Structure 1
Amino acid sequence: MKAPPRLQTLVEEGLIDTVVRQLMSGKEAMVFVVRCGDETRCAKIYKEANNRSFRQAVDYTENRKVKNSRSARAMAKGSRFGRQEQEAAWQSAEVDALYRLAAAGVRVPQPYNFHDGVLLMELVTDANGDAAPRLNDVAFTEEQALQHHATLIGEVVRMLCAGVVHGDLSEFNILLANSGGDDGVDVPVIIDLPQAVDAAGNNHAQRMLLRDVANLRDFFGQFAPTLLKTDFGPEIWSLYQGGLLSNETPLTGHYERATADVDMQAVLREIDDARAEDAARRLRMATA
């Protein structure tokens, strides 16, 4: 097929040889199957902000750092240059997360290159060499559901130990890939990470992790109802906050919530203090 304009640049640069076909079009990007020498890979073209249905919500972009102070000030002010810089930071977030998680041993597509808003990465395939299906396109036995759920809970823990929360994890952005092993068992691969957040630097990280884990529970619970009674999210976050979480930490799926009375006045004071601090910070950045 004819290469789209943004992929034509990669052809001219020699990064890809040919564009085979379009694989999918999602809320923030279009993905194409491409040939690079003897290998088949995929190229993810990020949509411009005004063409995306998924917006850069403040929950996701909170505390994302840029090295250039001029860019940071422009992003805070919301100028045209600042919006361009924010868009670049949004696009590079997935690249950074992929390299970070791949190094931590998380099952994610291997990234190869990022050029002009296009991410070139591994094409995740099934046993026949075709593009791997998403979880929502597959039916599971109870045993398979329990196995894949346990694997993905382990991946969530591994991500958190690497300091990353996916932020939008569900059956729609997990692929079921060929493991390449003799046992023929497929393995889940986590994709779509531009909304990933820093676990320690984002105030919404806990809520996002709890939602990610709940999504896994609810999906696999359709096939293995016993999972619907589990409570892995709060257990994982509590261990993380206490500095007790590692890739080998045994989990029970149960969590006892504290029953002590909550000092609502103290909570409201904390909220007011946080708002005042944020307003002062924004004022300093605007006048810098």
Structure 2
Amino acid sequence: MTTHVSSAPPLRIGLVGAGPWARLTHAPALAGHPGAVLGGVWGRRPEAARALAAAHGTEAYSGEAGLDALLATSDAVAFAVPPDVQAPLAVRAADAGCHLLLDKPVATTVEGARGTADAAERAGVASVVFCTLRFARGTAGWIAEQAATGGWFTARASWIGALFAPDAPSEFAASPWRREKGGLWDVGPHALSVLIPVLGDVTHVVAARGPADAVHLLLRHTSGASSTVTLALDAPEGAAGTEVEFRGAAGVSALPEGGGGALDAFRAAVDALSDAARTGVAHDCDVRFGLRLTEVLAQAEAELGR
């Protein structure tokens, strides 16, 4: 996937969030994008916002007044904060007329995700939810090919991480929301963002718990196909890995390995937001799709609580 080149003026995009995800992906992708200007960084921790802004030659913002100031000078806002922090801030951004580049999940409650989607619709702003494989080089095209092929009988997806393994240190292991909500909410959106475009919307959900934070889902889709999904963040290192496989009349098709890094994928998501803002045509992976992901995951969570 190549970076989109357009004669339209670059979007001025403010970044909300100054943690590891913002530092590793959002800020460098925005600062180096030919179709965007990193207009500033807002963070809940002022010192982190200042450090990240200084690293990319832009302005730091903090506090309520700082957020309002960033929104007032931005065409769009990219979010790199926990989902239930993101949702109300995204409503504020939409109300200020800013297009939305959201992280997944949009929220971990249906009410939060629906409020964000309704705000975007009310304001008439464009939105994209950054589900990495929908934008990554090598996987976005593969997903589209499987959707065009059709005739799938069943699928399986495994997103198994070892985020909390003692021998696998990661900055994201310190994330309270990931430890609280587990693989269902952190990597569940990734699995659904691949399965739903190919097999159709989810019509039925069965959920069961596995070891640690592992969750197993059995899904039925509008195409009539079924899928099974295993999600975890707290697995042993030797168990970690990502797999997606479709089986049907055309045979067996597996998710390609690699497919491009998060930086390139995020740049492609910026392109998608720019196109949606310019044309007024909603992207397939917009906030309404993000709402649907939250609805399915919330249904699974409710099943697990029974």
Same fold flag (TM > 0.5): no
Higher relative contact order (CA 8 A, sep 6+): 2
**TM-score, normalised relative to structure 1:** 0.23
* Higher Rg of the two aligned structures: 1
Which structure carries more strand by proportion? 2
